[in-house]
Amino acid sequence: MPTGRVCFRVALGSSFRQRGNTVLLFKMQFMLLFSRQGKLRLQKWYVPLSDKEKKKITRELVQTVLARKPKMCSFLEWRDLKVVYKRYASLYFCCAIEDQDNELITLEIIHRYVELLDKYFGSVCELDIIFNFEKAYFILDEFLLGGEAQETSKKNVLKAIEQADLLQENIDFQMRLFAGCQRSRDTAQRTGGNWTDINVVHIIIHLPHTSFICQLLYVADNNSNSPLSTLNFTVTHTQLCLCFLPVF
Amino acid sequence: MSDVVEKTLTALPSLLSLDSQPGSTKLSSTSKLGTLIRGITELTSKHEEEKLIQRELTSIKEQVSSPNTSMRQMKELMVRAIYCEMLGYEAAFSYIHAIKLAQQGTALEKRVGYLAVSLFLNESHELLLLLVNTVLKDLQSTNLIEVCMALTVVSQIFPKDMIPAILPLVEEKLNHPKEIIRRKAVLALYKFYLIAPNQVQHIHNKFRKALCDKDPGVMTASLHIYLQMIQENPEGYKDLTASFVTIMKQVVGGKLPMDFNYHSVPAPWLQIQLLRILSLLGKNDQSTSEIMYEVLDESLRRAEMNHNITYAILYECVKCIYTIHPKSELLEKAAKCIGNFVLSPKINLKYLGLKALTYVVQQDPKLALQHQMTIIECLDHPDLIIKRETLELLFRITNAQNVTVIVEKMLEFLRINKDDYTTIDLVGKVAELAEKYP
């Protein structure tokens, strides 16, 4: 502990906390996710700091949070920051905010982020975040821009991510089409042929974890029972509808 | 449905060999990132981990510098580089490739490129200037997703000197038909306002338009800017008080679309922003405060449910009520609220209650007396944080009678405390008390 005279001067200087009635902005300084063994899973910094400082802060903070017992307060005062943390299964979510802020609201921001991850990954677990951490970052960026929580509905956040995901799902697949007769009256009307001889293939594909489906209507030659052809195509952010009806 | 159709439909996924699991975990078993991560978790010592990562980094370095790497492979390499940086190992060679990836890649590759840039670089990095061109191009693209990505990266990290180059493009996005773009444009302008306020002076009327935007998301985004501007100059915005009060009434009354609800509380973060703005506007100003009393009363009443978020809103309400020109009924209700917090068994609420008391006690010392038994209990609470907060509170209600007791308690705390910052803080307080009451 420093000698009396020195720390007296320091205390009256900068670190003496003011508790006035000032209203400061909510500004998150950084967010860290780490496991119970102290392994970092995600880090997002909203203030400019050198790499060395970041590493130091991470190391110290991880140790401090891991040392907390389960029944303790979710809020820590650490250096001149307030740290809000919560543990979800095996992951600690840790946010540092400026001293004056409403800590409960930060706790709820963490919770909202977890809810978003849960909805996106479907019952999220630590492994999902580890192996798909860039997606966790995308969701975080959509929700917290520059350290401020955007009050967008959960639906909007996830929709934005899904749309971008869809862009990259270049699906190459092959399908075997089996000929058959389609007794669909309206299809016959549309294609204008003899409806007992028409073979129609209508395929629906639902892209994983998105709300987009693809459809394709393919009218084949009639009267062959072997696999007709293999369709190779790449689907990129289009909304064609495919619906498969195998028939006799 | 006939069973043939059923059989076909069940066989369809395997026919098409599509992975139907959510979260696209199909990458994990074959990707190089997966192998790397698994490799690390199997190792036992830090030294071995270092060796493995260095090997990985050298291999990444070779691959990124080779001219034959496709953008798709580059994306994968970037993800691994981000992972290594996260673990603390430097991968500075990959920064320039991240920018290249953002420039040349398509959709997801661009996205990973931008992500890598926002994680690797900081505001004063010299490579940041190279990003400006890419961002300019993407902002003018017809593909909305690219525009979104560009706006996101602009809001996170952008060199101050290049703001004039990009400002007109961002401004015109404020009128875009899609609300997500308008919202991101507002946030980008907010960021510009934070780092270079004089550049953004001329578009204040556009912010007003954003405030009245029909989409609640855009309106919320504009509140960030308003909060900042009002903090610097409350007088200039008193005329907007009525609009803020109207918005607050609508939110509390449940007029927003359902999906802004968070656990059946309508738009809590929006409410809190509004409460902060209102408290800034109403401070020391009776006429403005009078406009707000009704809506504050309403929010206090509505937030009765038992969830963390309602407590957060209540806390903010209480703070607001004590900041603006006082009104006795509201003060009473707020005092009761604080009482509930302090007496609550939930430890987080106790903390918040104590914190609220420290605000309140200067204006209303009777309240602290009312709860003094609880406060004394908190002094001996096993959690150090609560203890500190209690000491903070006691510091404010020190008078000539109880000063010795309080200082003794503080000294006792100092003996068990190990954190340097809190020690300095407390010692400063003790010193001040010593000066005041010799």
Hey, of B19, B21, B24, B79, which one would you mutate to test binding to chain A, going by the most A CBs within 10 A of its CB?
B24
Chain A segment 13-32 residues within 8 A of B by beta carbon are: 15-17, 19, 21, 23, 25-26
With 50 as the cut, is the pLDDT of residue A162 above it?
Answer: yes
Q: What ipTM does the predicted assembly reach?
A: 0.72
- The answer to whether the beta carbons of residues B116 and B146 sit under 8 Å apart is no
The residue in chain A having the minimum alpha-carbon distance to the alpha carbon of residue B263 is: A112
Cα dihedral B371→B376→B381→B387 (10° resolution): 90
pLDDT at A25 > cutoff 50: no
Q: Do A131 and B25 touch (CB under 8 A)?
A: yes
In the numeric block, which tokens belong to residue A86? Answer: 């919560």
Which residues 277-316 of chain B have a CB within 8 Å of chain A? 279-280, 283, 308-309, 311-312, 315-316
pLDDT of residue A100: 67
Residue A136 has pLDDT above 60, yes or no: yes
What tokens does B262 get? 């968070």
Pick the residue with more confidence: A246 or B135?
B135
- Fill in the amino acid letter for A43: Q
- Which tops the pLDDT comparison, B245 or B32? B245
* pLDDT band at A191; cut points 50, 70, 90: low
Residue of B112, B123, B124 with shortest CB distance to A134: B112
Residue A186 has pLDDT above 60, yes or no: no
Nearest 5°: phi and psi at B262?
A: -120, 110
What residues in A contact B413, CB-CB < 8 Å? none
**Cβ A165–B108 below 8 Å, yes or no?**
yes
B387 touches chain A (CB under 8 A): no
* Least confident segment among B130-139, B257-266, B344-353: B257-266
B119: closest chain A residue by CA: A44
Q: What is the pLDDT of residue A172?
A: 31
Token pair in block for residue B71: 């953008």
Residue A30 predicted with pLDDT over 50: yes
Confidence at residue A86, expressed as pLDDT on a 0 to 100 scale: 92
Provide, as residue numbers in chain B, all residues whose Cβ is less than 8 Å from the Cβ of A73: 347-348, 351, 383, 385-386
Q: Which of A120-134, B85-99, B241-255, B367-381 shows the lowest mean pLDDT across its residues?
A: B367-381
Order of all β-strands in the sheet with A91-97: A40-45, A28-35, A91-97, A81-88, A75-78
| Residues in contact with B101: Cβ distance below 8 Å, sequence separation at least 6, in sequence order | B71, B74, B75, B78, B109, B110, B112, B113, B116
Q: Assess whether pLDDT exceeds 60 at residue A194.
A: no
Q: Does the structure show a pLDDT above 50 at B406?
A: yes
Contact between B37 and A131 using a beta-carbon 8 Å cutoff: yes
Q: pLDDT class for A155, splitting at 50, 70, 90?
A: confident
CB atoms inside a 10 Å sphere around CB B385: 19
SS3 A140: helix
Is residue A40 classed as helix, strand or coil in its secondary structure?
strand
pLDDT score of B407: 80
CB B393 within 8 A of CB B352: no
CB contact at 8 A, B330 and B297: yes
Task: Examine the pLDDT at A167 and tell me if it is beyond 60.
Answer: no
pLDDT for position A32: 92
Cβ count within 10 A of residue A138? 23
Return all residues near B17 (Cβ < 8 A) that are at least 6 apart: A173
In the block, residue with structure tokens 């008080």: B241
d(CA B266, CA A136): 26
Is residue B8 scored above 60 in pLDDT? no
Region of B11 (left: φ > 0; alpha: ψ -120 to 50; beta: rest) is alpha
In this complex, how many residue pairs, one in chain A and one in chain B, have their CB atoms less than 8 Å apart? 248
Half-sphere exposure of B433 (CA within 13 A, CB side): 26
Residue A6 contacts B where some CB pair is shorter than 8 Å: no
Q: Is A160 on the interface with B (CB under 8 A)?
A: yes
How close does chain A come to B62, measured CA to CA in Å? Answer: 23
Per-residue pLDDT band for B131 (boundaries 50, 70, 90) equals confident
Q: Is A146 left (phi over 0), alpha (psi -120 to 50) or beta?
A: left
> Distance between CA atoms of A95 and A75, rounded to whole angstroms?
10
* Per-residue pLDDT tens digits for B146-192: 888 888 888 888 888 888 888 888 888 888 888 888 888 888 888 88
C-alpha B53, offset from chain centre: 32
How far, in Å, are B57, B191, B229, B267, B269 from residue B194 at the CA level?
37, 5, 10, 25, 20
Between positions 102 and 141 of A, the ones with CB within 8 A of B are 102-105, 107-109, 111-112, 120-122, 124, 127-128, 130-134, 137-138, 141
Distance CA B82, CA B89 (A): 10
Across the interface, of B19, B24, B425, the residue whose CB is closest to A15 is B425
Selected residues 35-64 of chain B with any CB under 8 Å from a CB in chain A: 37
H/E run at residue B411: helix B403-416
